[in-house]
Chains A and B, each alone.
Chain A
Amino acid sequence: MKNIDDEVLNDYLDGNLAESELVEIKMAIESNPSIKKRYESLLAVHKLFRLVEPEKVSVDFEKRVLQRINKRKEIAKQQKRFMMMIFSFFGLLLFSIVGYAFTEVLSSIKLSASENIISTFSVLLDDYQKFLSNKNNLTILGSILSFIMLLSGYFLFELQKKSKRFIG
């Protein structure tokens, strides 16, 4: 007969033994008072653990979970709107800058009837490039863009922080 220690008795209690072992342990429990006592004490503990009732969470818990989910959705929408706003703004800004540069260049060129369209266009591009490569113009442009990027980065970070709090 195998040594019937607490591990074996626990396995017997949980039904984790093979059929032949189950019979063997059952016989040992019935015939040996010491094993019987150990088994009964484990069985009592097993029953006690079963008696423990679950703890109760606060009453409006489901409501609060749904509120958090809704809040998270709202924030996700806000983030989307914010990103759209930023992209539209940058798009518009870029369009304005290009438009402004274009009109500046155009107004500085005097079109003559003798010039053909290709040479006019190459002059136009050249002037446009000069405008953009002008150190002062570029600095102003860069500063504006950096400021806007910093500002939008800050707001984006704040939104992310807020959403993280709700998403968990």
Chain B
Amino acid sequence: MIGLVYMAMKNLTDAEIIESVKKGNQADYSILVERYKNKAFTMLKRMLKNDFEAEEILMDAFLKAYNNLGSFKFESKFSTWFYKIAYNTALSRISNSKRIIETQMASIDDVNYLESNYNADEYVSENSAELVQKVVNQLPEKNAAVITMFYLEEMTIEEISDVLNLSAANVKVILHRSRNLLRKLIEEKQLLREML
């Protein structure tokens, strides 16, 4: 019986779950957590390059979201709102641990940064899936966040720009540069023919 109720709850939309949580059904929040935990964790792990920290930030983000659920007015999707919280929490952590100094070098204006940081020879032994995983995991935090939200969460450029507080044009530049970088690595490894 409980299982059936839970299954029915799982089919509810984010808005319906939020309304239920607001009415006092605190346990329903776990459905939202389950829905977004892995994708958000992927983004955070790619940003922070650390499993433990990523999980800690994810926990903080879910708690912050819960505490501010009352002020969530459904002006955007819950996922956009939540990713914004998670992204900003991760940025604060990075900034606190002074890693921002290194990553600032990777501003989107620095055209050559991405390419100069990757050496195709390092990836010789990898297959294409591992190569992608490895490249994405080593992208600067903004690029990693954009790639994750675009491909994993299937957010639009506009939604991503809302999360990152960047213009849509900048998000597009980040996305295209990440793609171009991976293409360059693949071409250097001559994997392209295998994939096409």
Per-position binary interface string of chain A over residues 55-70, scored 1 when its CB falls under 8 Å from any chain B CB and 0 otherwise: 1111001111110111
Identify whether the interface residues of B are mostly helix, strand, loop, or mixed: helix
Do B38 and A168 have beta carbons less than 8 Å apart? no
Do A52 and B132 have beta carbons less than 8 Å apart? yes
Per-position binary interface string of chain B over residues 175-196, scored 1 when its CB falls under 8 Å from any chain A CB and 0 otherwise: 1100110110011000010011
Residue numbers in B under 8 Å from A139 (CB-CB) = none
Residue numbers in B under 8 Å from A55 (CB-CB) = 38, 41-42, 45
Do B38 and A66 have beta carbons less than 8 Å apart? no
Interface 9-mer from A6-14, A27-35, A85-93, A126-134 = A6-14
Do B33 and A41 have beta carbons less than 8 Å apart? no
Do B38 and A65 have beta carbons less than 8 Å apart? no
Given A44-B186, A49-B151, A52-B152, also A65-B180 (CB < 8 A)? no
**Cα A44 to Cα B179 with chains together (Å):** 10
**Cα A42 to Cα B182 with chains together (Å):** 9
Do B37 and A61 have beta carbons less than 8 Å apart? yes
Q: Which of A52, A57, A166 has the most CB of B within 10 A?
A: A57
What number of residue pairs across chains A and B have CB atoms under 8 A from each other? 112
Does B136 reach chain A (CB closer than 8 Å)? yes
Interface size on B, residues (CB 8 A): 43
**Cα A42 to Cα B196 with chains together (Å):** 11
Identify whether the interface residues of A are mostly helix, strand, loop, or mixed: helix
Do A44 and B192 have beta carbons less than 8 Å apart? yes
Does B101 reach chain A (CB closer than 8 Å)? no
Given A51-B129, A57-B55, A168-B60, also A62-B37 (CB < 8 A)? yes
Min CB distance B194 to A, Å, is 9
Q: Which of A56, A57, A167 contacts B67 (CB 8 A)?
A: A167
**Cα A72 to Cα B64 with chains together (Å):** 11
Given A52-B132, A72-B63, also A57-B183 (CB < 8 A)? no
Closest A-chain residue to B58, C-beta based?
A: A57
Do A65 and B192 have beta carbons less than 8 Å apart? no
Closest A-chain residue to B66, C-beta based?
A: A69
- Name 18 interchain pairs, CB-CB below 8 A, sorted by A: A14-B157, A14-B175, A41-B192, A42-B180, A45-B182, A48-B182, A49-B147, A50-B151, A51-B129, A52-B132, A54-B38, A54-B41, A55-B42, A58-B55, A62-B33, A65-B59, A69-B29, A69-B63
